[in-house]
Amino acid sequence: MTISKGDKLPDVQLVKVTADGPDKVQSADYFAGKKVALFAVPGAFTPTCSAKHLPGYVEKAADLKAKGVDEIACVSVNDAFVMGAWGKASGSDDVTMLADGNGDFASALGLDADFSGFGMGKRSQRYSLIVNDGVVEEVNVEGPGEFKVSSAEHMLGQL
C-alpha cells in the first residue's frame, strides 16, 4: 500500500551523508520534530535526477525554507558514498543526502519500482513528500517517465 496524506512514515534505517562520513539514522528519528521537504529519485547521477530534480531543490532551497521547511532531503536507492559524491557534485549543502541502499524505505512507503529493464534493479519511484514531525502532509508521485509534481516548484505551491 502506498503512503498517503496523514500517514506516519515507516521507521526504517537510512544512511545520512555527513562531512564525517556515513551516519546510520532511523527514519523516525530523522523526521521527528521538523518539517522536511523530501524528494526521491530513481538514481543519483541519472539524467533527469541530475539535470532537473536535484538542481531544482538546490535553486529553490531558500524559498522552501522561507515557507517553513526546516530541512530539504533527497533519498535514493544508492549507497551513501554515491549519494555523498552526488551531493558534492551538486555544489550545495542545502540538501541532505539520504541513502536507502537496500530500498527498504522505498518499499515501506509502497513507492519502490523495478528498473531491471534498464539494468538498474530495484529502485524508488520519483516522488516528493512534505513531512511534518514524521507525518505526511503532501504526497506527489510521478507517472512513469514524468517530472512535474515532484519538483521544487510544485512543492512551493503546496506550502
- Look up the pTM and report it: 0.92
Annotated catalytic residue within 49, 64, 141, 149? 49
The pLDDT, as a whole number, for residue 119 is: 62
The pLDDT, as a whole number, for residue 122 is: 84
Q: What are residue 78's phi and psi, to 5 degrees?
A: -140, 165
pLDDT in tens, 15-66: 998 989 899 999 999 999 999 999 999 888 876 766 678 989 999 999 999 9
Any catalytic annotation for residue 74? no
Domains of the chain: 13-158 (3.40.30.10)
Work out the pLDDT band at 70, boundaries 50, 70, 90.
Answer: very high
User: By three-state DSSP, how is residue 145 classified?
Assistant: coil
Cα distance between residue 139 and residue 71, in whole Å: 17
Give which of 54, 22, 77, 17 is closest to 128, Cα–Cα: 54
User: By three-state DSSP, how is residue 56 classified?
Assistant: helix
Q: What is the DSSP string of 71-100?
A: EEEEEESS-HHHHHHHHHHHT-SSEEEEE-
> Mean pLDDT in the chain?
91
